[in-house]
Amino acid sequence: MTLLGIDTESGGIGLEYSLLSINFSIIDDNCEIVESLDLKLKPDPINGRSEYFVQAEALRVNKINLAQHDLEAISYKESKSVIYKWLEKTTKEYGNFTVFGQKVERDVELITRYTISENSWYNFVNRRVIDTISLGKYAQLIGLIPETQSLSLSKITDYLGVEVDENLIHDAQYDVMLGAQYLKWFKDNLK
C-alpha cells in the first residue's frame, strides 16, 4: 500500500473558507517522504482580483501573511492541472494511493471542492483513508499511550519524542512530515 500524506491550510475552520495551501507527499514503507508537491493557492480571480474568505485568527495560527501569500500562490483553476498531472505521473510509478493524514477526510473535501474534481481525484486514490486520530485512539485503546494524551498532531508527536518545531506547526508540508514520523512510531510499536 502506497500512502499519500496530505494536509491543507485554509482561511478558517469551515469548508467555506478559502483553501490556501496543500501538501501531497508520497510516504514509502519506511515512513519516509520520497516525493512531494507543495502548493500555495488563491481563489480564482474575479475582475482581476482574488477575493479571499478568511478569518484573521486562522491566518495568525497558520502564520500566513496574505499579501505575500497572494504573490506566490496559483489560482484554484491553475492548480487543477498541476495536481492532475502530478497525480497521473506519480501513480504510474507508485500505483494508486491510500490517503493519510490528520483529519484527512476534511482535507480531501477541501481539495475536491476547490481544486481537482472528485471524479479525477478518485482515479488516483482509494476511497479509504488512514487518519492519525483513529490511529491515536487505537493506541490509547490498547494502552500504548495514555487515554488523556491529546491527539493533536504536534502534541502526540511531541509525546512520542519527536522534536516539534513550534514555528513550523500548521505548515502543510511540516504537518505531513510529522504525520509520517507518527506513522513510523506506530508501525514500530505494533511489531
Q: Tell me what pLDDT residue 164 has.
A: 86
Which of 94, 86, 105, 110 has the alpha carbon at shortest distance from 37?
A: 86
Domain ranges of the chain: 2-189
Q: Model's pTM, two decimal places? A: 0.92
Q: Tell me what pLDDT residue 49 has.
A: 85
pLDDT in tens, the chain (191 residues): 899 999 999 999 888 999 999 999 999 999 999 999 999 999 999 888 889 999 999 999 888 999 999 999 999 999 999 999 999 999 999 999 999 999 999 999 999 999 999 999 999 999 999 999 999 999 999 999 999 999 999 899 989 888 888 888 888 899 999 999 999 998 998 87
Alpha-carbon distances of 160 from 91, 135, 154, 178, 184, rounded to whole Å: 32, 13, 10, 11, 11
Statement: 2-189 belongs to CATH 3.30.420.10: yes
Task: Confirm if 90 and 17 have CB atoms less than 8 A apart.
Answer: no
The set of residues, in sequence order, having a beta carbon less than 8 Å from that of 20 and lying 6+ positions away, is 8, 9, 10, 11, 40, 41, 42, 54, 62, 64, 69, 73
C-alpha–C-alpha distance, residues 19 and 114, integer Å: 7
Which residue has cell 490509547? Answer: 140
Q: Tell me what pLDDT residue 116 has.
A: 96
Give the CA radius of gyration of the chain: 17
Q: Tell me what pLDDT residue 13 has.
A: 87
